[in-house]
């Protein structure tokens, strides 16, 4: 869905660049030439300017990718090949629920590509999961692979499995990625057409975005990455592997010793090795696999910590390689690798940008380093044009402002995770991210959100203090900083929006009390947290006299009249934890209802 960039937009881009240049010049000029700051003030000033420069450089990188993405990549057409090359499909898993794996393997088994073998790399140590994996493998005809000694997590088990394979191509999927039937038929001809191509990466696409705020935010962050950024990288052999929905040439992977096991982002580190060995890569911008995003802040933070920690670990190698072997990559590749591997310093940049108004309002440490009028007049065109460019471009691809904002807000809320991930990576510290043991779709305890909540509290105090100061001092700079504090307060407050139970049952109406309702809870439970509303034909709420587990199957009987019951099956999609007057409020999703009764049931439940 590539859209042509119109001339009018190009002129906005040029104005955007000019506005950014003017803004940064004004900042730097005032900072170094026209102020008389003491060393402490100067230190904060430099940190703030660095944070702004960091954001600006990544913004420029984004714009460059937009231009690069205009270069049309010719892909080999997905024709039926005479002799299909052998493909090994690897899915690594450790303690994944059966229903997730079942969905993945049933999709993989249905790939319209005959010459494939599906390997289930089960790294579980728990006997129950092992038994489940064995059962699934025998039911679906999968080749199960296990190892005695765990090493190198996902990369380790893939490498161990790779030793026994002689396939030409290796497709890798995460345990929750469901490919469409034509995936291999489209990707393999591309690899066949260019023997120096090490891998073809396709996008990740979350589909549990409709009923989960965190998944939605994460989904839109992914969308921003996979649209112009990856398209741009893909045109200059700078696309790195994202770990799933990817097909490797086995020869290329073997030539660099398999996946890199020394970082938690083995995909990114392996891509660097491949590119510096002269292999090429490609981004195929067609969604061929659907998956699920993190459903709560705990899961999201864990994912972001891993990415931040892994990519910044690779940054150290990128810099070392740049110094020792500057010719191993092209200028364009170095630029992209430095941008991608340094991106997660954004946490530190966010922090400085957010902390400066507090410093000014509470401790009088200046934060804008110019007179307020010059600041406002140079900043406003810069921010309006840069935001305008971003939203217009993604808007041209049908992304809505509020959805993109959702992704951005979630990213800002993750700033402590990015900081921790980058600091641990910089100093080579080993760490597993702390928030664990939460069930899917559940809020995290506020204690885990102390950095965000502390800043929120400081904003409230500093805004109030700032108002007092303004009344007495009449200094416009106080107002500018108070506005910034208010802005950051609103942005960070979105943590409360994201840290909520899945809002699945909000649209379900309570069953009217005059309708007779009987139910029987069956001993059949599935995971329902990630299912979309479309999984259910209807939904409603009712009162149960007992507590019932989410995902339970319930046979229901609703009486249209005394002699006319409607019998149907439903799943519990949510249940209150505490009884009110001996009753538990339960949200039910109707899964099976006779066609002849469907309209009656709709009427009864007051739904169209």
Of 204 and 276, which has the nearer Cβ to another protein?
204
Give, in order, the Cα–Cα distances in Å from 79 to each of 76, 89, 185, 193, 570.
Answer: 8, 20, 7, 12, 44
Helix (H, G, I), strand (E, B) or coil at 587: strand
277: its two tokens:
């060995």
To another protein, the closest distance from the beta carbon of 93 in angstroms equals 18
Distance CA 183, CA 1 (A): 18
207: its two tokens:
């589909």
Of 429 and 592, which has the nearer Cβ to another protein?
592
Of 123 and 285, which has the nearer Cβ to another protein?
285
Of 311 and 530, which has the nearer Cβ to another protein?
530
Distance CA 344, CA 322 (A): 20
Of 207 and 500, which has the nearer Cβ to another protein?
207
To another protein, the closest distance from the beta carbon of 592 in angstroms equals 7
To another protein, the closest distance from the beta carbon of 571 in angstroms equals 13
Residues 6+ away with beta carbon under 8 Å from 429: 423
Distance CA 344, CA 571 (A): 41
Of 66 and 223, which has the nearer Cβ to another protein?
223
Give, in order, the Cα–Cα distances in Å from 375 to each of 22, 27, 45, 340.
Answer: 11, 8, 14, 30
Residue 591 phi/psi, 5° resolution?
-105, -40
To another protein, the closest distance from the beta carbon of 103 in angstroms equals 5
To another protein, the closest distance from the beta carbon of 270 in angstroms equals 28
To another protein, the closest distance from the beta carbon of 398 in angstroms equals 3
Of 219 and 443, which has the nearer Cβ to another protein?
219
C-alpha dihedral sign at 456, 504, 300, 232 = negative
356: its two tokens:
């400066």
Of 126 and 210, which has the nearer Cβ to another protein?
210
Helix (H, G, I), strand (E, B) or coil at 117: strand
To another protein, the closest distance from the beta carbon of 532 in angstroms equals 5
Report the 10 Å Cβ neighbour count for 307: 20
Of 149 and 608, which has the nearer Cβ to another protein?
608
Residue 110 phi/psi, 5° resolution?
-90, 10
Give which of 470, 483, 448 is closest to 376, Cα–Cα.
Answer: 483
To another protein, the closest distance from the beta carbon of 106 in angstroms equals 5
Report the 10 Å Cβ neighbour count for 149: 6
Angle, CA of 24, 26 and 32, to the nearest 5°: 95
The footprint of another protein (CB under 8 A) covers 102-103, 106-107, 109-110, 139-140, 178, 180, 205, 207-210, 223, 287, 290, 397-399, 531-532, 534-535, 537, 592, 595
Is residue 605 within 8 A of residue 538, CB to CB? The reply is yes
Distance CA 206, CA 292 (A): 5
To another protein, the closest distance from the beta carbon of 110 in angstroms equals 6
Residues 6+ away with beta carbon under 8 Å from 25: none
């Amino acid at each position: 869905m590539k859209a042509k960039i119109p001339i009018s937009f190009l002129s906005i881009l040029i104005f955007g660049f000019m506005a950014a240049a003017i803004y940064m010049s004004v900042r730097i000029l005032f900072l170094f030439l026209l102020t008389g700051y003491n060393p402490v003030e100067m230190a904060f000033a430099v940190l703030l300017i660095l944070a702004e420069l960091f954001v600006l450089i990544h913004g420029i990188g984004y714009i460059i990718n937009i231009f690069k993405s205009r270069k049309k990549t010719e892909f080999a057409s997905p024709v039926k090949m005479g002799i299909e090359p052998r493909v090994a499909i690897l899915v690594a898993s450790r303690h994944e629920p059966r229903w997730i794996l079942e969905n993945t393997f049933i999709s993989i088994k249905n790939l319209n590509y005959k010459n494939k073998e599906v390997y289930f790399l089960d790294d579980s140590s728990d006997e129950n999961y092992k038994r489940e994996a064995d059962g699934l493998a025998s039911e679906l005809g999968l080749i199960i692979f296990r190892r005695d000694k765990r090493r190198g997590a996902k990369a380790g088990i893939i490498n161990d499995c790779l030793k026994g394979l002689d396939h030409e191509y290796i497709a890798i999927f995460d345990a929750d990625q469901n490919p469409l039937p034509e995936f291999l038929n489209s990707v393999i001809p591309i690899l066949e057409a260019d023997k120096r191509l090490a891998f073809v990466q396709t996008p990740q696409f979350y589909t549990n975005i409709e009923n989960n705020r965190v998944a939605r935010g994460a989904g839109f962050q992914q969308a921003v990455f996979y649209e112009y950024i990856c398209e741009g990288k893909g045109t200059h052999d700078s696309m790195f592997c994202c770990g799933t929905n990817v097909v490797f040439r086995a020869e290329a992977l073997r030539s660099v010793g398999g996946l890199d096991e020394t970082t938690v982002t083995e995909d990114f580190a392996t891509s660097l090795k491949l590119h510096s060995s002269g292999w090429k890569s490609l981004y195929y911008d067609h969604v061929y696999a659907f998956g699920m995003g993190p459903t709560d802040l705990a899961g999201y933070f864990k994912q972001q910590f891993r990415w931040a920690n892994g990519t910044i670990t690779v940054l150290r190698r990128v810099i070392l390689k740049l110094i020792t072997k500057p010719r191993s990559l092209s200028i364009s590749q170095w630029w992209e690798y430095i941008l991608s591997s340094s991106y997660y310093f954004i946490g530190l940049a966010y922090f400085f940008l957010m902390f400066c108004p507090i410093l000014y309002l509470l401790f009088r440490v200046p934060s804008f380093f110019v007179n307020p009028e010059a600041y406002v007049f140079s900043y406003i065109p810069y921010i309006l044009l840069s935001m305008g460019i971003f939203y217009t471009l993604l808007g041209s691809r049908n992304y809505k402002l509020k959805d993109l904002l959702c992704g951005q807000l979630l990213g800002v809320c993750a700033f402590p995770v990015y900081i921790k991930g980058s600091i641990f990576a910089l100093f080579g510290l080993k760490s597993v991210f702390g928030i664990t043991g939460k069930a899917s779709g559940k809020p995290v305890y506020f204690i885990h959100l102390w950095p965000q909540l502390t800043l929120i509290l400081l904003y409230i105090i500093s805004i109030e203090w700032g108002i007092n100061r303004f009344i007495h001092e009449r200094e416009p700079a106080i107002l500018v900083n108070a506005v910034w504090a208010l802005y950051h307060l609103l942005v960070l407050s979105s943590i409360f929006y994201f840290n909520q139970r899945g809002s699945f049952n909000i649209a379900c109406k309570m069953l009217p009390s005059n309708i007779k309702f009987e139910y029987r809870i069956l001993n059949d439970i599935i995971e329902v947290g990630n299912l979309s509303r479309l999984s259910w034909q209807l939904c409603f709420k009712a009162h149960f006299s007992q507590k019932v587990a989410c995902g339970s199957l319930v046979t229901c009987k609703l009486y249209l009249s005394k002699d006319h019951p409607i019998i149907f099956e439903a799943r519990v999609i949510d249940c209150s934890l505490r009884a009110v007057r001996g009753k538990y409020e339960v949200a039910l999703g109707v899964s099976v209802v006779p066609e002849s009764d469907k309209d009656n049931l709709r009427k009864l439940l007051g739904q169209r």
